[in-house]
Amino acid sequence: MKKSLVILTALLATVATASAQKLVIKGSDTLGAKLVPMLAEEYKAANPGVSFEIAAEGSTTGIAAITDGTAEIGMSSRRARATEVSGAAAKGVTMKPIIVCYDGMAVIVNENNPITALTKRQVEQIFTGDVTDWSAVGGKPGTYSIYTRNTSSGSYSDWKDLAMKKRDYSKTSQKMAGNEQIAAEVGKNPNGIGYVGVAYIKAPGVKVIPIDGHLPTKEEVLSKKYPYARPNFYYTNGEPSGEAAKFIAFTQSDAGQKIVEKIGFIPTK
Partner 1 sequence: MAIQSLKWLALLGGVTLGSATLAVAQDSGPLIDTLVKKGILTDQEGEDLRVELLKDFGTTSPGKIDISSRVTKLTIAGDARVRYQYDNEEANPAGAADNRDRNRYRYRVRLGFLADLGPKWSAGLRFETASGATSTNADLAAGTDNFDKAGDVAYFGQAYINYKDTGILGADTVDVRLGKLPHKFFNPGVNGFWIDSDINFEGIAEELVFNDVGVKGSTLSVRAGQFVLNNNAANSGSTSAATTTVGSFSTTTGLPTTTTSSQNTTVDPSMLLVGQVEYATKKFKVAPTIVAFAAPSEHDRSATTAALQASDTAVYNDLATILVPFEYTMKLGAKPFAIYATYGFNIEGEDRAYRLASATTPAQKAAVDDDSEIYNLGVRYGENRLPGDYQLVAEYRHVGNGSYSSLLLDSDFNGGLLNGEGVILSGSYSLTSAITFTTTYFNSFNIEQTRAAGTSRGNGFGKAQVLQIDLSARF
Which residues in this chain contact partner 1 in the complex, by CB under 8 A? 79-80, 82-83, 85-87, 89-90, 94-99, 167-168, 224, 231, 233, 268
Minimum separation from the CB atom of position 169 to partner 1 (A):
11
For strand 192-196 and strand 145-149, is the pairing parallel, antiparallel, or unpaired?
parallel
Query: Which residues are within 8 A (CB) of 41 and not within 5 positions of it... i.e. 6 or more apart?
Result: none
For strand 22-27 and strand 73-76, is the pairing parallel, antiparallel, or unpaired?
parallel
Minimum separation from the CB atom of position 160 to partner 1 (A):
12
Q: Which residue, 44 or 225, has its beta carbon nearer to partner 1? A: 225
User: How many other C-beta atoms are found inside a 10 Å radius of the C-beta of residue 86?
Assistant: 11
Q: Which residue(s) pair with 10 in the sheet? A: none
Nearest-angstrom CA–CA distance, 28 and 183: 17
User: How many other C-beta atoms are found inside a 10 Å radius of the C-beta of residue 112?
Assistant: 9
Minimum separation from the CB atom of position 54 to partner 1 (A):
23
Q: Which residue, 5 or 90, has its beta carbon nearer to partner 1? A: 90
Q: Which residue, 19 or 94, has its beta carbon nearer to partner 1? A: 94
Q: Which residue, 85 or 186, has its beta carbon nearer to partner 1? A: 85
Q: Which residue, 164 or 201, has its beta carbon nearer to partner 1? A: 164
Minimum separation from the CB atom of position 84 to partner 1 (A):
8
On whether the CB atoms of residues 234 and 245 are closer than 8 A, the answer is no
Minimum separation from the CB atom of position 7 to partner 1 (A):
45
